[in-house]
Structure 1
């Protein structure tokens, strides 16, 4: 599977964005609100690398507990898949647990995404292309 991006939790997108820009990243997609997950998201690129800055917008965001625990940190890799249902089924057979069923991602052009967890891998995201 090809990596689409690395998800990076940010207490403040504005502050994290500034630091990433200083490291040579450019804004690929400006900040957009994801009402499904109650988060702001921004995509930055540096060559072939893409980072997704994720800022929880309240304690009801599913990302808030992670931010409260880990602060500013990378926390998932997102992989591109052709068939998300098939990929979820295959990974489930490899002992990944689905933590968020496939759903639309408003900040990735409405593509379907799913989140899975494995004790040896941590959290991964799939995006259907």
Structure 2
């Protein structure tokens, strides 16, 4: 299977863009001026070391993430001046897609872990050969299971 067929083959759908920031409150104010608004409640994920907030508006859904402590991986992004740092996609076939991505030369950077932002559904991160960071989100099945 070719790499460019993977997301279609595994029924992936775009979910959000991840943005690193020092303060989700300050960052939100800039996006509100462009017509965005908060979607749901803020969350804190101790496994990921982040505090976050989703925004929706005239463009794609945004996930604003700030470090929740000194060991947060977000600190490194901010220190390097990286703002937009990942694209996220939902998939109903997390394990199979991860195997296919590995075979296509992508590097798993965060193995599947439960995520607070998605009610315990698993997320995983991988780095594509072109250095783009992608987050996979385990889709909730129509019966509410995973």
| TM class, shorter-length | over 0.9
Please state if 1:100 is matched with 2:110.
yes
Secondary structure (helix, strand or coil) at the match of 1:11 reads coil
**Stretches of structure 1 lacking an aligned partner (at least 5 in a row):** none
Q: Does structure 2 retain, via aligned residues, the 8 Å contact 1:77–1:124?
A: yes
The reply to whether residue 25 of structure 1 matches residue 59 of structure 2 is: no
Kindly report which structure 2 residues correspond to 1:56-95, keeping only aligned pairs within 5 A, or say none: 56-71=67-82, 73-95=83-105
> How many angstroms does 1:50 deviate by?
0.7
Do the aligned residues in 1 keep the contact of 2:44 with 2:68 (CA within 8 Å)?
Answer: no
Q: Which of 13, 16, 22 lines up with 1:5 in the alignment?
A: 16
Q: Structure 1 stretches (4+) deviating beyond 3 angstroms?
A: none
Please report how far the alpha carbon of residue 7 of structure 1 lies from its aligned counterpart in structure 2 after TM superposition: 0.4
- Is the CA contact 1:39–1:61 (under 8 Å) kept in the aligned structure 2? yes
Equivalent pairs, count:
128
User: Bigger radius of gyration, 1 or 2?
Assistant: 2
* Greater share of strand: 1
> Are 1:6 and 1:77, in contact at CA under 8 Å, matched by a contact in 2?
yes
**Which consecutive residues of structure 2, in runs of 5 or more, have no partner in the other structure?**
1-11, 140-146
Give me the TM-score of the superposition, normalised by structure 1.
0.92
Name the TM-score, length of structure 2 as normaliser: 0.82
Kindly report the root-mean-square deviation, in angstroms, between the aligned alpha carbons of the 2 structures: 1.4
